[in-house]
Amino acid sequence: MPQSVEKILDHGPLFREPEYREMFARKKACDGAAGVDATALQSEYTKGWEYREKNFAREALVINPAKACQPLGAVFAAAGFEKTMSFVHGSQGCAAYFRSHLSRHFKEPCTAVSSSMTEDAAVFGGLNNMIDGLANCYSLYQPKMITVSTTCMAEVIGDDLYGFIGNAKAKGSVPEDFDVPFAHTPSFVGSHIDGYDNAIKGILEHFWKDNPAVAGASETINIVPGFDGFCVGNNRELGRMLGLMGVGYTFIGDAADQFDTPSDGEYRMYDGGTTIDELKAAKGAKATVALQHWNSRKTLEYAASVGQETASFHYPLGVKATDELLMKVSALSGKAIPEALRLERGRLVDAMADSQAYLHGKRYAIFGDPDFVEAMARFVLETGGEPVHCLSTNGGKEWAADMQALFDGSPFGKDCKAHAHKDLWHLRSLLFTEPVDFLIGNSHGKYLERDTRTPLIRLTFPIFDRHHHHRFPVIGYQGGLRVLTTILDKLFDKLDAETNIAGETDISFDLTR
């Protein structure tokens, strides 16, 4: 009997007990699945170049993509504004999925309501669902703002959000002057980063359209963070750096507090975020700066159209990327970069120098959203590593060209390649045929770690199977230090694991490394 009162076995060890192993064998003998030999053969075959070629010849089938759909980005975007409820117009299952997905990463509550459209709405349209939905959401959750996005159902049947929201207001669902910005977010176009972009643009348009403020009237700078699973640590870190510089800034959406509420007995459905007044005033800002270019193209275009100066970055992670952000902010604001930040920079460089012997020449595969991959590859190059396989399911041709330019700018980039619109099954072939030392990405990479034995370093959304990483920054010099340490921890753990069998491999089990 495997289970005992004294030592209750969890599923891991429990199912390795002989009783269960024997049962699995009995089942396997008659389950009609592929035989052991066929499985072994196919398993080997998938590791080779021939399979890789077939794999890269796929035109329709997508396997283990590293992207989600637009409305997830819209729900994330809404979390960055004060007392804002996200309203997902369409099928209700989508809202349940977005909430679950974000909660699993942040280990925090995530709210969103749905207009719960079903068959009849598919035929007649979802106007009544909008009218009733806004009224209920307003009464129950007492938000200051409701932001509307769409699921693919509402998009396919062509529901018109502008008209519907106007109609709902006319019917008294919410007061006429209540803010209901919206964005169409079709799941079959782009990915969650485009949904984020559309939602932010929709919110800005709503507050800036008939707004008399003149761009440049104030000295502040608007910051558009982009879809960022590390927003909790990152936004606070950026705020700290800008504070040191004495720059006035407004986050266009800051979900740091919303996704990091304290446990003190009170459930805060809403916490923190950019206020409506701040949003309105943001039109008068001197400039709008996007931390993630590929997340913010439409938003920046719109900011430029109201007369603001714009600039965009690719997730300011690492030394030079942080330098560039600070210098740009300094140029825009006329504020000098203080000595304190120069010292911080020096400390990061110091740490990199201390560890350079271990990092030099290490080979990496990196996957994730296009800006993250670009940032990470750049930092790896700064450490003397080679970002050999850089893959982004939602990165396009322009992104790949950017990446190539990055590789061309460093001797360490010589054998590196960017793979746009590819998925993690492509990456599996790459890792088998051209192995690397480390894989950097999100939790979905754990299946690649298992299959190819490439150690996975989790540094981007979604991280489901490790806790609390997102509470610490990865951008800026401080963030760079954390990324560096995370990579080194994995590296040293691996080194120790490879040298820790007493009397056999422990010759190199060094106390000091």
Partner 1 sequence: MSDSYQNDGKAHEQYITEVLAQYPDKFAKRRKKHLSVAKAVEAAPDAPVGEEGPLLTECEVKSNIKSIPGVMTIRGCAYAGSKGVVWGPVKDMVHISHGPVGCGQYSWSQRRNYYVGTTGIDAFGTMQVTSDFQEKDIVFGGDKKLDKVIDEIETMFPLSGGISVQSECPIGLIGDDIEAVSRRKGKEIGKTIVPVRCEGFRGVSQSLGHHIANDAIRDWVLDKSAEAEWEAGPYDVNIVGDYNIGGDAWASRRLLEEMGLRICGNWSGDATLAEMERAPKAKLNLIHCYRSMNYICRHMEEKYGIPWMEYNFFGPSQIAASLRKIARHFGPEIEQKAEEVIARYKPLVDGIIEKYGPRLKGKKVMLYVGGLRPRHVMTAYEDLGMEIAGTGYEFAHNDDYQRTGHYAKPGTLIYDDVTGYELEKFVEKIRPDLVGSGIKEKYPVQKMGIPFRQMHSWDYSGPYHGYDGFAIFARDMDLAINNPVWDLFDAPWTDGGELLAAAE
Give the residue numbers marked as catalytic: 152, 156
Residue 314 makes CB contacts below 8 A (sequence gap 6+) with 292, 293, 294, 321, 370, 371, 374, 375, 378, 402
Which one-letter DSSP state was computed for residue 336?
A: P
Kindly state the smallest distance separating residue 512's Cβ from partner 1, in Å: 37
Q: How many residues bind partner 1 (CB under 8 A)?
A: 108
Q: Which is nearer to partner 1, 250 or 393 (CB)?
A: 393
Cβ at position 4, least distance to partner 1 in Å: 7
Member of 363, 428, 458, 490 binding partner 1 (CB under 8 A)? 428
Q: Residue 61 or 353: which CB sits closer to partner 1? A: 61
Determine phi and psi for 89, rounding to 5 degrees. Answer: -90, 115
Q: Least distance from C-beta 63 to partner 1, angstroms?
A: 6
Q: How far apart are CA 159 and CA 90, in angstroms?
A: 9
Considering beta carbons, is residue 164 or 412 the nearer one to partner 1?
Answer: 164
Interaction residues for partner 1, span 301-330 (CB under 8 A): none
Query: For partner 1, which residue of 18, 29, 32, 502 counts as binding (CB under 8 A)?
Result: 32
State the DSSP H helix or E strand holding residue 438, giving kind and residue range, or none if neither.
strand 438-441
**Which parts of 150-169 interact with partner 1 (CB under 8 A)?**
151-153, 156-157
Kindly tell me which residue out of 160, 219, 323, 425 binds partner 1, with binding defined by CB under 8 A.
Answer: 425
Could you say which of 84, 111, 392, 442 contacts partner 1 (CB under 8 A)? 111
CB 191 within 8 A of CB 421: no
What is the footprint of partner 1 within residues 217-276 (CB under 8 A)?
A: 261, 263-269
Choose which of 77, 78, 110, 245 interacts with partner 1 (CB under 8 A): 110
Can you tell me the distance from the alpha carbon of 363 to that of 380, in angstroms, rounded to the nearest whole number?
9
ω before 462 within 30° of 0 (cis)? yes
Binding mask 77-106 for partner 1 (x = CB under 8 A): ----------x--xxxxxxxxxxxx-xx--
Closest CB to partner 1 among residues 46, 330: 46
Q: How many residues does the chain have?
A: 513
Q: Which of 114, 149, 220, 296 binds partner 1 (CB under 8 A)?
A: 114
422 binds partner 1 (CB under 8 A): no
What does the DSSP assignment read for 374-429?
A: HHHHHHHHHTT-EEEEEEETT--HHHHHHHHHHHHTSGGGTT-EEEET--HHHHHH
Given 16, 58, 360, 494, the residue binding partner 1 (CB under 8 A): 58
Span near partner 1 by CB under 8 A; candidates 115-123, 327-335, 373-381, 401-409: 115-123
| From 43, 305, 500, 508, residue interacting with partner 1 (rule: CB under 8 A) | 43
508 binds partner 1 (CB under 8 A): no
With tokens 């490790």, the residue in question is: 466
Residue 505 within binding range of partner 1, rule CB under 8 A: no
Contacting partner 1 (CB under 8 A), which of 48, 136, 166, 492? 136
Name the one range near partner 1 by CB under 8 A: 35-43, 235-243, 348-356, 366-374. Answer: 35-43
For residues 184-223, which are near partner 1 according to CB under 8 A? 186-189, 191
130, 169 Cβ separation under 8 angstroms: no
Identify which range of 65-73, 306-314, 405-413, 453-461 contacts partner 1 by CB under 8 A: 65-73
Residue 279 makes contact with partner 1 by CB under 8 A: no
- Only one of the segments 132-140, 228-236, 321-329, 384-392 lies at the binding site for partner 1 (rule: CB under 8 A); that segment is 132-140
Q: How far is the CB of 281 from partner 1 (least distance, A)?
A: 30
Cβ proximity of 180 and 147 under 8 Å: yes
Using rule CB under 8 A, residue 495 touches partner 1: no
**What is the spatial distance between Cα 167 and Cα 221, in angstroms, rounded to a whole number?**
36
- Pick between residue 141 and residue 358 the one whose CB is nearest to partner 1: 141
Alpha carbon 314 to its chain's center: 13
Phi, psi of 419 (to 5 degrees): -115, 100
Q: Is there a contact between 138 and 174 (Cβ–Cβ < 8 Å)?
A: yes
CA pseudo-torsion sign 13, 18, 22, 23: negative
What is the secondary structure of 187-231 as a DSSP string? Answer: TTSS-HHHHHHHHHHHHHHHHHTT----TTSSS-EEEE--S-TTH
- Read off the amino acid at residue 211: N
Q: Does 384 bind partner 1 (CB under 8 A)?
A: no
CB of 105 to partner 1, least distance (A): 11
Separation CA 353–CA 457 (nearest Å): 21
How does strand 113-114 pair with strand 249-251?
Answer: unpaired
